[in-house]
Amino acid sequence: MAKKTSARAAAKASLTGKRVGLYPGTFDPPTLGHLDIVKRALKLVDHLVIGVGVGTGKNPLFSFEERVAMWQHEAGVLTKDGGTIEVQPFGNALQVDFARSVGASIVVRGLRAMTDFEYEFQIVGMNQRLAPDIETVFLMADPRYLSIASKLVKEVAMLGGNVSPFLTPHVADLLVKRCKELAKKRK
């Protein structure tokens, strides 16, 4: 634990003077919508921490380690235009405390529809009171990706539909594989 804390402190020190953002989420799995938000966020910050939620309450299809590995696989393409990305576990902590612990002054969230707005509206209001030094920034993905939701993509995959319009080829392969494993188990 002490090792982890000192590694985090060292990483934080190396970011002095840089604008750091946090993009938290469950990412079960990361979709083209999530990737588009990361690309846009990298225009605003020098360093983006992708906080992958352990998400046990959401009963994720992919383990936390698998979701982290998916982001690490995509990181190279995402950072080719500049900026750096780091993927970090985001467990049992308040979002604003986690943001502070990674040196982030901005929390990035994606907005799709009014339903997202209502949910985010309350969280931001509370976070503003808890941490006035941290700003939440909402970004909209390219309209092509606005209707994509991890939950629906999983449903399409479970029913044997084509998920390639919604995911990178790597993540699509992993999702199809996972669904086949589950279908076999259920037989």
Least distance between ligand ADP and beta carbon 35 (Å): 9
Q: Is 150 a catalytic residue?
A: yes
d(CA 95, CA 81): 28
Q: Is 112 a catalytic residue?
A: yes
Amino acid in position 53: G
The residues, any chain, with a CB within 8 Å of residue 109's CB and separated by 6 or more, are 23, 24, 120, 136, 137, 138, 139
Least distance between ligand ADP and beta carbon 123 (Å): 10
Contact flags string 22-41 toward ligand ADP, x per CB under 6 A:
---xxx---x-xx--x----
Q: Are 130 and 98 in contact (CB under 8 A)?
A: no
Confirm or reject binding of residue 116 to ligand ADP (CB under 6 A).
yes
Q: Which of residues 43-102 bind ligand ADP (CB under 6 A)?
A: 53
The residues, any chain, with a CB within 8 Å of residue 53's CB and separated by 6 or more, are 24, 25, 26, 27, 64, 90, 91
Q: Are 130 and 94 in contact (CB under 8 A)?
A: yes
Catalytic residue among 8, 12, 73, 112: 112
Mark out the alpha helices in the chain (DSSP H runs). Answer: 2-13, 32-41, 64-78, 95-101, 114-130, 150-158, 169-186
Contact flags string 150-169 toward ligand ADP, x per CB under 6 A:
x-------------------
Q: Is 58 a catalytic residue?
A: yes
Confirm or reject binding of residue 148 to ligand ADP (CB under 6 A).
yes
Bridge partners for 139 per DSSP: 110
Identity of the residue, 6 or 128, whose beta carbon is nearer to ligand ADP in the bound complex: 128
Confirm or reject binding of residue 176 to ligand ADP (CB under 6 A).
no
Binding site for ligand ADP (CB under 6 A): 25-27, 31, 33-34, 37, 53, 109-110, 112, 116, 141, 145-146, 148-150
